[in-house]
């Protein structure tokens, strides 16, 4: 390689090592590769040389030119890279993406739904905003019934409308529109003007159940609820019926399950009774069938309701209903992956 070219290369390599900014890099580029630059000057010399020198000189200058170009490009990239990282303290721990979790109420509704679905129940949803007719009248609930009181129910400004206090109105809506036999469950949100405490909240969830056919019996009701309780809460879980009153069933019962905390021996949670109350059930009242357009002489049915929060509190051993609604990540993250 001709000596002057070698010197230019050496000098260039020294200078580019000292470059720290893009501005310095740009002026070095102009100095060497610009129109009046050193390397450009050497290139211009080629045609003036005697033919014998031209080839080797030309090759050397051209490889110098591409070397300079490459070193400039590499330098540019390293400057840009160091600029990117100057504002970042790479010794800080990284920020992790936060993985959310489902509310246990949604999870348990899915589980309940799955159990009934596998027993042949279809899932039907009803509206949260109901009419007084579906929420009370069609369910044989008279004017003087306490749950119709303005103290107990959220009425809307629009006359005749309210936030449903139970999922039972979906029974009527289904009987009005579906062909028989009917075997359905209806999960959803309900609302009551309850004073808030560890077991009461202004909104909560229920799952309603309804089976209408020609020969439906109360024994079938008990069978289905027993299978359900065993599958949701474990094989040893039992069910018992206690006589009760609901306007839309006759006879009516409240049903309990064996306390899952003490296994039925008696503890603080079950108030030493060994049983935990779930909700109500019964044989659909003939008047309710009639109102819904079904002949009570030909068809009968059972119905049941269940409090979802109550079941979730039992299953996951949660002591306060408000946990479900506070959106506290410390609570919710315990249910990740369920």
Which among 233, 251, 234 has a CA at the least distance from the CA of 242?
A: 251
- Exposed / middle / buried, residue 165 (Cβ in 10 Å: 0-12, 13-18, 19+): buried
DSSP state of 93: P
Question: Minimal distance in Å, beta carbon 276 to ligand DAH?
Answer: 16
Which among 168, 316, 121 has a CA at the least distance from the CA of 232?
A: 316
Of residues 161-180, those binding ligand DAH (CB under 6 A):
166, 168
Does position 279 bind ligand DAH by CB under 6 A? Answer: yes
What is the rounded distance in angstroms from the CA atom of residue 14 to the CA atom of residue 97? 46
Of residues 34-63, those binding ligand DAH (CB under 6 A):
none
Per the DSSP assignment, residues forming a β-bridge with 189 are 205
Does position 282 bind ligand DAH by CB under 6 A? Answer: yes
Stretch near ligand DAH under the rule CB under 6 A, chosen from 8-16, 73-81, 279-287, 321-329: 279-287
Count CB neighbours of 231 within 10 A.
Answer: 17
Stretch near ligand DAH under the rule CB under 6 A, chosen from 69-77, 233-241, 278-286, 320-328: 278-286
Does position 249 bind ligand DAH by CB under 6 A? Answer: yes
Nearer to ligand DAH, 237 or 279 (CB): 279
Of residues 196-215, those binding ligand DAH (CB under 6 A):
208
261 alpha carbon, distance to own chain's centre: 29
Stretch near ligand DAH under the rule CB under 6 A, chosen from 18-26, 91-99, 222-230, 301-309: 301-309
What is the rounded distance in angstroms from the CA atom of residue 94 to the CA atom of residue 100? 18
Stretch near ligand DAH under the rule CB under 6 A, chosen from 23-31, 73-81, 262-270, 300-308: 300-308
Does position 141 bind ligand DAH by CB under 6 A? Answer: no
Which among 39, 34, 49 has a CA at the least distance from the CA of 8?
A: 39
Does position 104 bind ligand DAH by CB under 6 A? Answer: no
Does position 260 bind ligand DAH by CB under 6 A? Answer: no
Does position 305 bind ligand DAH by CB under 6 A? Answer: yes
Contact between 311 and 189 under an 8 Å Cβ cutoff? The reply is no
Query: Dihedral sign, CA of 248, 249, 254, 257?
Result: negative
Residues contributing to the site for ligand DAH (CB under 6 A): 166, 168, 208, 246, 249, 279-282, 303-305
């Amino acid at each position: 390689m001709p000596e002057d070219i070698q010197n230019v290369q050496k000098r260039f390599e020294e200078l580019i090592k000292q470059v720290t900014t893009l501005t310095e890099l740009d002026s070095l580029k102009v100095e060497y590769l610009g129109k009046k630059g050193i390397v450009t000057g050497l290139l211009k010399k080629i045609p003036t040389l005697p033919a014998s020198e031209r080839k080797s000189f030309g090759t050397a200058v051209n490889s110098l030119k591409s070397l300079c170009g490459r070193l400039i490009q590499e330098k540019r990239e390293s400057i840009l890279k160091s600029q990117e990282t100057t504002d970042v303290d790479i010794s800080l721990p990284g920020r992790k993406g936060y993985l959310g979790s489902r509310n246990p109420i949604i999870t348990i509704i899915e589980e309940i739904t799955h159990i009934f679905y596998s027993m042949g129940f279809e899932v039907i949803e009803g509206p949260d905003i109901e009419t007084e007719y579906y929420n009370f009248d069609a369910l044989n609930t008279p004017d003087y019934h306490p749950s119709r009181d303005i103290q107990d129910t959220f009425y809307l400004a629009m006359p005749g409308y309210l936030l449903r206090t139970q999922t039972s109105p979906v029974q009527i809506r289904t009987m009005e529109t579906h062909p028989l036999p009917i075997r359905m469950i209806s999960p959803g949100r309900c609302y009551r003007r309850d004073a808030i405490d560890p077991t009461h909240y202004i909104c909560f969830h229920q799952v309603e159940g309804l089976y209408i056919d020609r020969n439906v019996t109360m024994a079938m009701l008990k069978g289905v609820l027993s299978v359900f309780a065993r599958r949701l809460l474990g094989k040893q879980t039992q069910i018992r019926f206690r006589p009760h009153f609901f306007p839309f069933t006759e006879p009516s019962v409240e049903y309990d399950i064996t306390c899952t905390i003490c296994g039925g021996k008696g503890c603080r949670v079950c108030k030493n009774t060994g049983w935990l109350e779930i909700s109500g059930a019964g044989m659909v009242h003939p008047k309710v069938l009639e109102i819904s357009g079904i002949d009570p002489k030909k068809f009968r049915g059972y119905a049941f309701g269940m409090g979802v929060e109550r079941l979730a509190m039992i299953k996951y051993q949660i002591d306060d209903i408000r946990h479900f609604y506070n959106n506290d990540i410390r609570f919710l993250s315990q249910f990740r992956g369920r």
